Amino acid sequence: SEIYLQGYGGTSPAFTTDLTRVEAAAEKVLEPGPFSYVAGGAGSGSTARANREAFDRWRIVPRMLTGATERDTSVTVLGETLPAPVALAPVGVQSIVHADAEAATARAAAGLRLPMVLSTASSTSIEEVAAESGAGPRWFQLYWPNDPDVCGSILARARAAGYSVLVVTLDTWSLGWRPCDLDNGYLPFLRGEGTAVPFSDPVFRSRLDAAPEDDLPMAVLRWISMITGTDRDWDALPFLREHWDGPIVLKGIQHVDDARRAARAGVDGIVVSNHGGRQVDGAVAALDVLPEIAAAVGDRLDVLFDSGVRTGADVVKALALGAKAVLLGRPWVYGLALGGEDGVRHVLRGLLADLDLTLGLAGHRSVTGLTPAALTRAGR
Ligand code: FNR
């Protein structure tokens, strides 16, 4: 790849190629409020740390003379063939890190043909982001409003705008206890950021006494009350089927019984995820529950994974432990902060190149052939 050849040829890139260091670089360009909002985790941060430690406990065991000079990183997931097993995790409020926000991310993702999962908490409307995505794959993430007409309207807009896969986030029916944001007094939504999807929705607007432009705090509170504290159970899922004719994925699954329940409910996929450690402090590392979940339901639905992926080696490990594809969160958000569309593209291209090279040097010719046999536990 270009970055690799330039780097080894003596030309440094505009941003670091060490995806474990983009966070520190982004901290220099962001205000403390937005930086902590992105980087922070729930409570003491132990879940976010555990996500990384879990990756370190697995080691890749490289194989030699396997003919891995030619590699294929493509994968078919949720009925779509992707050039690599990587999608951009849903991340709301992107205008807090860069003025170009979701539009920049959409262009960078589309250029690489990777799916961008557009958040319901987007600071840019569904239709605008769709236009920026061009022919790129697009998935939509739902924070599920308790008003069925508002929910139906948002889903109809996403379908009309060409979104194929619906990712329903289950783990955030209330925001986690995030001391950084509490201490900074920072909630982006109350600053008018990250509410473009509902605020541009005609049905949501019809529920308000005044337009969001005229009474922002009221509109924000109305929206937050619509997506939080909702008393819902597994019997609610058929509603989604009625309003979405493409694949449906449940995000935030961490217990094998919930994965089995999802399979019985007939959804097309799950994301094994603890929301990057932002919801339950002390929660199990997402990677630690992946093997059991993949073994239990991997033949019935597509198992995706996120929380803690930072390098190509991490992708190899997650795939070897049963994920079909991973979602990447914070690293490209830091790229967006550092350089808008170019920054997102830089991070994604670096990860893809690192993945391709690590796969090959470990002796594997395709991502689909990875099994637990590619790994060992550290210290063995
Ligand atoms: C998120 N995440 C998230 N998830 C979701 O379903 N809807 C959303 O709007 C958001 N918003 C959001 C904002 C920010 C700033 C972050 C960092 C994360 C969670 C995200 O999709 C994903 O689960 C984690 O980010 C994955 O962990 P890593 O890769 O960040 O460690």
Mean pLDDT per block of 10 residues along the chain (380 residues) reads 85 85 96 96 97 98 96 98 98 97 98 98 97 97 97 98 98 92 89 89 97 93 90 94 98 98 98 98 98 98 98 98 98 98 97 98 98 94
133 annotated binding-site participant = no
pLDDT of residue 223: 94
Ligand 1 centroid – CA 210 distance (Å): 31
What ipTM describes this predicted complex? 1.00
Query: In terms of pTM, does the model score above 0.80?
Result: yes
pLDDT of residue 11: 87
Domain ranges (residues) in the chain: 2-59+75-364
pLDDT of residue 19: 81
| Residue 38 Cβ < 6 Å to ligand 1 | yes
pLDDT of residue 16: 86
| Residue 85 Cβ < 6 Å to ligand 1 | no
| Residue 309 Cβ < 6 Å to ligand 1 | yes
Q: Which atom number of ligand 1 is nearest to the Cα of residue 90?
A: 21
pLDDT of residue 24: 96
pLDDT of residue 15: 85
> ∠ CA(134), CA(345), CA(321), 5° rounding?
100
Atom 13 of ligand 1, residue of closest alpha carbon: 91
pLDDT of residue 331: 98
261 annotated binding-site participant = no
| Residue 40 Cβ < 6 Å to ligand 1 | no
pLDDT of residue 7: 87
Catalytically active residues are 275
Ligand 1 centroid – CA 119 distance (Å): 9
| Residue 360 Cβ < 6 Å to ligand 1 | no
Ligand 1 centroid – CA 206 distance (Å): 29
Ligand 1 centroid – CA 90 distance (Å): 6
Atom 19 of ligand 1, residue of closest alpha carbon: 275
What top-level class would CATH report for the domain 2-59+75-364? Answer: alpha beta
